């Protein structure tokens, strides 16, 4: 059989696996948006069945033979060779899991999600504790199934950020912690911007319409996606032509919904920008969660919270929300970038946000290594918030129940939020080098230069490169922390009149 024909067989098999996985993803999206309460039990079974089918399809002996033959030939293009190499790596990893374990993990995750929803509604961690404990045990088991050299958490981190380890992340967080704390302390000595006007009543229907307008303006394609309401905002992609996002609305704070839309919109733009012709293959998948979060953080913060973006969209904001008529763009800019230690990660400013991530990272490390039990999370969490941010956690809903990630079994995800901010700042610096009038473009509502840079340097490569390789290819250097610190200090030095 000709190599090209064999490669087409490989593509066909991978598309079929992707079809099943994306059917599963549709059920999960529905579970978090429209599923009626009584449907939860059978939905868990349906999702477990599809998880098991996808696992078995990807463990197919014929596929293994095709991959091994293709991996040994020299007649493939670079992208074809990388697709085969990465798929074979995924295949060998998939073989480590038994079908029974896959089903068990899927069922546990569904139970955990619904108990988290109930616990959050009732503000009672004990309702989540049992299912979370079971899930943690399964994630520890998964770490040993995958294998690791130094720390069991490394195996789970690698699922979200290839090559990430506890040692590497400890180095990053330890390097960031002191200058971030010093900057926070300096800011806390200054007069805070007034942001009272952000806490007036903002009609939910107007917020919804405004959010849709902003998403259209930044380039989200509604013919290839939609937005809905969920308990926790998220983005899900079934293919580049069907990428869906969700948000939530607080009628006393329009900024919560608005920048949630922009954050998820950044994720969605990445997914919609991936090559559709590579559906089912690594070339059609995102690089890593760190790079994915760089897209959401870039649009939400570097662009969405910039003075240029506020000025460019200020008249539209005033049309929707007359209560902003007495505010200037500069006042709104300072209010939206106010630094204030707080309880909720998703609503934290760009500086204190990373302390939220560090806390979750520490909790997860201890859970996976066995030095923290699930029932002890609230007490440990509350102590860490006091230590890192000096705030007192009043209840579970505003504390350890605020994030959806653990109910999904997503242990190892949280560090990618900070990594995303670091990559975003470095990418922004290089976008600005190509477009020295970038802020004027943003004021004019022209995001073409940003889109072109991201398409050329991020979107088109899918998963063909690791995060480090992609960063090197895009910027000519590996991840450098100083870009983020310079971006952060420049921004807050101007807002708070700080000396260098």
Residues 140-171 pLDDT 10s: 999 999 999 999 999 999 999 999 999 999 99
Token pair in block for residue 77: 């293009």
Asked, for residue 105, whether it belongs to a domain, the answer is: no
Q: Are residues 171 and 40 in the same domain?
A: no
Instruction: Decide: helix, strand or coil at residue 120.
Output: helix
| 477 among known catalytic residues | no
What pLDDT, on a 0 to 100 scale, did the predictor assign at position 99?
92
What average pLDDT does the segment 21-50 reach?
94
Shared domain for 334 and 472, answered yes or no, is yes
Region 475-498 average pLDDT: 97
Identify the domain boundary among 96, 126, 153: 96
Catalytic residue among 142, 159, 264, 300: 264
Distance of CA 227 to the CA centre of its chain: 17
Note whether 219 and 82 are same-domain residues: no
Q: What mean pLDDT do residues 38-64 have? A: 95
Q: Is residue 113 part of a domain?
A: no
For the residues of 136-165, what is the DSSP string, one character each? HHHHHHHHHHH--SS-HHHHHHHHHSTT--
Q: Quick check: is 275 in a domain?
A: yes
Say if residue 206 is in the same domain as residue 319.
yes
Domain hosting residue 74, numbered range:
1-96
Whether residues 92 and 147 share a domain: the answer is: no
- Is 120 inside a domain boundary? no
Q: Are residues 206 and 263 in the same domain?
A: yes
| 352 in the same domain as 255 | yes
Q: Which residues of 390-407 are buried (b: 16+ CB within 10 A; e: fewer)?
A: eeebeebbebbbbbbbbb
Q: Which of 35, 63, 96 is the last residue before a domain boundary? A: 96
Same domain? For 358 and 438 the reply is yes
Residue 114, in any domain of the structure: no
Q: Burial level of 12, CB count in 10 A (0-12/13-18/19+)?
A: exposed
What are 420-476's pLDDT values in tens digits?
A: 999 999 999 999 999 999 999 999 999 999 999 999 999 999 999 999 999 999 999
pLDDT at 13 over 90: yes
Based on the number of CB atoms within 10 Å of its own CB, is 67 exposed (0-12), middle (13-18) or buried (19 or more)? buried
Task: Kindly report the CATH number assigned to the domain that includes residue 248.
Answer: 1.10.1370.30
Average pLDDT of span 396-407: 96
The whole-number pLDDT of residue 1 equals 67
Q: Which tokens sit at 251? A: 């009628």
Domain finish residue from 37, 72, 96: 96
Number of other CB atoms surrounding residue 77 within 10 Å:
9
Domain count, the chain: 2
Q: Beta 242-247 vs 235-239: how paired, if at all?
A: antiparallel
How far does CA 209 lie from the centroid of its chain? 24
Burial code (b: 16+ CB inside 10 Å, e: under 16) for 159-172 equals bbbbebbbeebeeb
In a domain, 457, yes or no: yes
Residue positions counted in the chain: 500
pLDDT tens figures, 362-372 = 999 999 999 99
- Residue 106 belongs to a domain: no
| Shared-domain flag, residues 305 and 374 | yes
Share of the chain above pLDDT 90, in %: 97
With vertex at residue 56, the alpha carbon angle to CA 54 and CA 60, rounded to the nearest 5 degrees, is 115
What average pLDDT does this structure show over 89-112?
95
- Say whether 270 sits in a helix, a strand or coil: helix
For 64-100, how does the pLDDT look when each residue is reduced to its tens digit (9 = 90+)? 999 999 999 999 999 999 999 999 999 999 999 999 9
Q: 442 and 370 in one domain?
A: yes
Residue carrying the six token digits 């079974």: 45
Domain assignment present for residue 108? The answer is no
């Amino acid at each position: 059989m000709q190599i090209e024909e064999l490669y087409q067989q490989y593509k066909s098999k991978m598309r079929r696996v992707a079809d099943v996985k994306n059917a599963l993803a549709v059920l999960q999206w529905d579970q978090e948006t429209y599923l009626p309460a009584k449907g939860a039990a059978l939905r868990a079974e349906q999702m477990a069945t599809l998880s098991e089918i996808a696992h078995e399809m990807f463990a197919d002996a014929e596929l293994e033979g095709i991959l091994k033959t293709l991996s040994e030939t020299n007649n493939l293009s670079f992208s074809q060779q990388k697709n085969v190499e990465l798929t074979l790596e995924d295949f060998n990893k998939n073989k480590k899991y038994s079908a029974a374990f896959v089903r068990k993990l899927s069922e546990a995750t569904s139970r955990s999600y619904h108990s988290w929803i109930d616990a959050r509604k009732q503000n009672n961690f004990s309702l989540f504790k049992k299912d979370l404990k079971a899930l943690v045990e399964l994630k520890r088991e998964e770490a040993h199934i995958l294998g690791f050299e130094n720390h069991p958490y490394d195996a789970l981190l690698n699922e979200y950020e290839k090559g990430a380890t506890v040692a590497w992340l400890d180095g990053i967080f330890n390097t960031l912690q002191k200058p971030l704390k010093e900057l926070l302390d300096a800011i806390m000595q200054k007069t805070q911007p007034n942001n009272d006007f952000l806490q007036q009543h903002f009609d939910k229907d107007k917020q919804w319409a405004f959010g849709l307008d902003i998403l259209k303006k930044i380039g989200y394609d509604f013919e290839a996606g939609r937005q809905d309401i969920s308990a926790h905002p998220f983005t899900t992609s079934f293919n580049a032509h069907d990428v869906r996002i969700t948000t939530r609305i607080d009628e006393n704070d329009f900024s919560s919904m608005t920048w949630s839309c922009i954050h998820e919109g950044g994720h969605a733009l990445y997914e919609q920008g991936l090559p559709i012709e590579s559906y089912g293959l690594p070339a059609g998948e995102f690089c890593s969660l760190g790079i994915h979060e760089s897209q959401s953080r870039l649009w939400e913060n570097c662009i969405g919270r910039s003075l240029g973006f506020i000025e460019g969209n200020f008249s539209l904001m005033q049309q929707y929300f007359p209560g902003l008529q007495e505010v200037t763009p500069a006042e709104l800019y300072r209010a939206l970038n106010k630094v204030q230690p707080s309880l909720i990660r998703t609503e934290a400013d760009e500086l204190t946000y990373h302390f939220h991530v560090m806390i979750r990272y520490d909790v997860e490390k201890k859970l996976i290594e066995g030095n923290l039990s699930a029932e002890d999370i609230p007490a440990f969490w509350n102590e860490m918030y006091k230590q890192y941010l000096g705030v007192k956690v009043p209840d579970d809903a505003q504390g350890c129940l605020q994030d959806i990630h653990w109910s999904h079994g997503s242990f190892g995800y949280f560090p990618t939020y900070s990594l995303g901010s670091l990559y975003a700042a470095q990418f922004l610096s290089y976008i600005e080098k190509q477009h020295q009038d970038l802020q004027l473009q943003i004021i004019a509502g022209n995001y073409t230069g940003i889109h072109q840079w991201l398409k050329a340097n991020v979107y088109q490569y899918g998963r063909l490169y690791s995060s480090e390789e992609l960063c090197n290819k895009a910027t000519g250097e590996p991840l450098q922390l100083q870009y983020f610190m310079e971006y952060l200090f420049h921004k807050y030095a101007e807002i708070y009149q700080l000396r260098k």
